[in-house]
Each structure stands twice: as C-alpha cells, then as structure tokens.
Structure 1
Amino acid sequence: MMIKRILQPEIEKRLFKGKALLILGPRQAGKSTLVEAVLEAREHLYLNGDDADTREILANTTATKLKAIIGSKTILFLEEAQRIPNVGLT
C-alpha cells in the first residue's frame, strides 16, 4: 500500500512552471517513491547519477547531445544528480 504524501499535490501543482523542482531529504525517506507516484501517468525520462554511463554522458555533453538524449520528453527525473560533475552547468 502506497502512503499518499502531503507533498504530492504541491509538486504536481508546480510542474511545468519553467523551473526545476529539487526534492531533498535523508536517505530512505521515500523521495524516489514520491516522484515515481507523481510521474507514473506522465511521459518522462528517468536518469540515475549512480550509473557510470549516465554520469559520463551528462558530465561531458553539449546542448545538441542533450536534446538528442531528452528527445520529446517534457519531464526529466534525474536521480542522484549530485554524483554528476558540473550537473548544474549542464
């Protein structure tokens, strides 16, 4: 049984406002589960910074490569972003 999070409606309300949404919290607090619940009915791209290939691609990329990776998706879920060098610049 999934626990309905109080933050879920707030996150859904803030989607597509032209800003990045950052979800911070301690390990094992349910951050990924919350985001997965928000995105389950929406087309999105999921990338994980724990994956070495993802880190390499996103740490050393260009705007053209990013567009090719993201394609027509309007939502990017980037988990463990802090593991990607210069992710803020990318």
Structure 2
Amino acid sequence: MNGLYHQHRALSYSCVSLGWLNGVTQYWSRNLSIYREFSRLALVFGYITSLVMRVAISAFGEYFRRIRNHVDKYVITKHYYQLMPLSLATVQDFSFRL
C-alpha cells in the first residue's frame, strides 16, 4: 500500500508541473504582443551589446598594435645598454652601380 501511495504522489506532482507549464504558455499566447515586444527589445539589446564589444575589441587591438610598433622601432646595438632606431639600423643602399 505504501508503494502505491508514493507512486500516486509523484504522478500528481508531474500533473501539477505540466498544468503550470500549460498556464504559462496560455498566458504568453494571450499576451503575444507583449512577448513580441520583449523579444524585439532583447534582440536590440543583444545587437547593441555585440556592437559595443566589437568596437571595444577593435579599439584595444589598435592600442596594443601602436604600443608594439613603438617598442619595435629600436634595436639593441653591440653595447647592450644602447638602443639604435630601427630606421638607422636598416638603411638600404639605393645607389645604382654601373
């Protein structure tokens, strides 16, 4: 008798949860315009957030690229404590020889 009673309780709980889900779906179907507006708002918010993140990532990428290029503009000479500008270290001879 005890086993049947517990089985019946579990069955009644599942019916209650399905009834609650049914009530929620009926509520949203009745208020579909509110649901549409909420979905539209969530879509716009997601788009704006995505756009802001893309701009932020792009800005930080540009910032770090500038720092890296600034650091890379110097070369260590044979004296380890002296730095030479890269433009002087890589002078190319463009004179034509006949």
TM-score relative to the length of structure 1: 0.18
TM-score relative to the length of structure 2: 0.17
Comparing both chains, which one has the higher relative contact order based on Cα–Cα distances under 8 Å and sequence gaps of 6 or more? 1
